[in-house]
Structure 1
Amino acid sequence: MFIQTEPTPNPNVLKFIPGRIVSSTPREFLSIDQAAASPLAEALFQLEDVTGVFFGDDYVSVTRAPHGRDWSDIKPEVLAAVMDHFTSGVPLIREGSESEMEAGDDSEIVAEIKSLLDSRIRPAVAQDGGDILFDAFDEETGVLTLRMRGACAGCPSSAMTLKAGVEQMMRHYVPEVTRVEQVL
């Protein structure tokens, strides 16, 4: 098995691409307690200086502590954990750990926002090892709040991406959106 790695705009996050589908639903783990839902995430959190794990469609993003060891020291350990997991045949998520997605009745504007996020924005953000999720839309003020995950959470360029890219696109296609903000 050959696992490729790619840098991300966030210097503390590296993408590991195992050459197969990782997760049909993006999942993020920010602590060892959350990682208990996944054998792979749990194994990665056992490594020194790993502070976050994100499963994308065909990659695993791993976040290291900002002042921890260099990637040259951590990378071989992560590669071994990812390879061990995918060659073992163990499921990515433990049975009974799937979280239910809340399905609600969205307004026409919210449905349009979510559709634009899914079709145009999330695929571009995924290439950088992250994800962006709808949080809320205030129809009175036109403020859209989004949640950044994976490599995008804490990335130095995420604020610029949000304002220059996402906000401009949202305002163009959904005129009711007046401003985009990130939920931390």
Structure 2
Amino acid sequence: MFIETETTPNPASLKFLPGREVMPSGTREFTSPESAEASPLAQALFDTGEVVNVFFGNDFISVTAAPGVSWSALKPQVLSILLDHYVAQTPLFIGGTASGISVPQEEDLAIEEDPADKEIIEQINDLLEERVRPAVAGDGGDIAYRGYKDGVVYLAMQGACSGCPSSSATLKHGIEGLLKHYIPEVTEVRAA
């Protein structure tokens, strides 16, 4: 088995492409060893002691190294863990299901949305799904919708995009410009 790697705009993160499906649908981000307990693979990556974020996409895994950790030392460890996982055909999640797929749940929304904005919210989510998510996935991450209120869209960057030096520029100049262009009611995009 051959696992490709790609750099991301975030110098602390690398994108690993195992050449097969990772998640059948959705995404999943692990930001701590405690959250990684649901996945033997994520747990093994955190067990190196040098990983601070693991993100599963459809066909990739993004891993973020802890501050001060060199990828020249960490990359072989990560590749070994990934190879062991795929060769042993270990389930991605305990119980073999993708429980906890990152899909914004009502309790995740910090913003109390106005039911009158339903059509605007649908347009926002359609644009995010069709235009933004594929581009962000190409950089080893994802974007999660967190809410809309009074013209402001609240989004959270995930995976390699979380903590990336260019993530604020992506939100403010890229995504905000796109949403404002297609949805005149949108006046601003903020990180949530």
TM-score by length of 2: 0.89
Q: Which runs of 5+ in 1 are unaligned?
A: none
Partner residue of 1:111 out of 104, 122, 129:
122
- Aligned match of 2:38: 37
State how 1:132-147 maps to structure 2 within 5 Å. 132-138=143-149, 141-147=150-156
* Residue identity opposite 1:107 in structure 2: K
Greater helix share, 1 or 2? 2
* Residue identity opposite 2:62 in structure 1: S
- Aligned match of 1:54: 55
- Aligned match of 1:11: 11
The number of equivalent residue pairs is 180
Equivalent residue of 2:158, what SS?
A: strand
Partner residue of 2:171 out of 139, 162, 165:
162
Distance 1:20 1:103 in 2: 31
* Residue identity opposite 1:156 in structure 2: P
* Residue identity opposite 1:153 in structure 2: S
Partner residue of 1:126 out of 137, 142, 146:
137
4+ aligned runs moved over 3 Å, structure 1: 100-106
The RMSD of aligned alpha carbons is: 1.7
Q: Which runs of 5+ in 2 are unaligned?
A: 108-114
1:179 corresponds to 2:179: no
Q: Is the 8 A contact 2:19 2:59 kept in 1?
A: yes
Distance 1:73 1:119 in 2: 37
Q: Is the 8 A contact 1:37 1:97 kept in 2?
A: no
- Aligned match of 2:110: none
Q: CA deviation at 1:48?
A: 2.5
* Residue identity opposite 2:146 in structure 1: D
Distance 2:21 2:141 in 1: 16
Distance 1:103 1:34 in 2: 20
Q: CA deviation at 1:88?
A: 1.0
- Aligned match of 1:151: 160
The percentage of aligned residue pairs carrying the same residue is 51
Distance 1:25 1:80 in 2: 25
Distance 2:166 2:106 in 1: 31
